[in-house]
Amino acid sequence: MRFSISILVSIVVVLAVCILPVAAASCSATTIDMKTVELGVISVTKAPPIYGEVRQGEVDPHQYYVPSGHRTLEVSLQWDHTTNNDLSLAMYPPNGNPLVWNDANDGQTDGEISLSTPLPSQMTGKYWSFDVTGLRVSGTQSYTLTINSY
């Protein structure tokens, strides 16, 4: 594992999240501060990894329940980059807009997309969705998706 650089790129994404209070409907903005991190920075796996494979243009959907009270979400998608295949990871926060990452977003094309973010309380106690997409795949491409919250 590479530990030489702990945080490669900081990405700040603002999501518009609608919150419907009991008395009246209103819409507020929630900021999710996503950081692209090196795999070695991600904590020890708490949830079992998900193993899958995709073909060219195929989308493999996954869901993960973030328990109430959890404050951090970590996501890692890995595949064999020596195949010259390229995958992307889309994350769908509850009541939010999708966020999409490609392999080169962290400045390296290495078959790895690793992210970490603090979780606003209104984003916990809910399901998050994740799509692994075969952007450029010859044949099939195996991958490992690890999602943790704590």
Q: Which residue has the higher pLDDT, 57 or 25?
A: 57
Residue 73 lies in a domain: yes
Instruction: Establish if 1 belongs to a structural domain.
Output: no
Give the separation between CA 72 and CA 8, rounded to whole angstroms.
18
User: What is the CATH classification number for the domain harbouring 125?
Assistant: 2.60.120.380
Residue 37 lies in a domain: yes
The pLDDT tens digits of the residues spanning 86-137 come to 999 999 999 878 999 999 998 889 999 999 999 999 999 999 999 999 999 9
Q: Domains in the chain: how many in total?
A: 1
pLDDT higher than 90, residue 45: no
Residues 6+ apart with CB under 8 A from 111: 78, 79, 80, 81, 82, 103
Contact 42, 114 (CB under 8 A): yes
Which structural domain, as residue segments, surrounds residue 65?
A: 7-149
Query: What string of DSSP letters covers 94-150?
Result: TTS--EEEEGGGGS--SSEEEEEEE--GGGSSEEEEEEEEEEE-SSEEEEEEEEEE-
> What are the strands of the beta sheet with 26-37, ordered from one edge?
7-19, 26-37, 112-118, 72-78, 140-149, 50-55
User: Bigger pLDDT: 13 or 140?
Assistant: 140
60, part of any domain: yes
* pLDDT score, position 2: 29
pTM for the model: 0.71
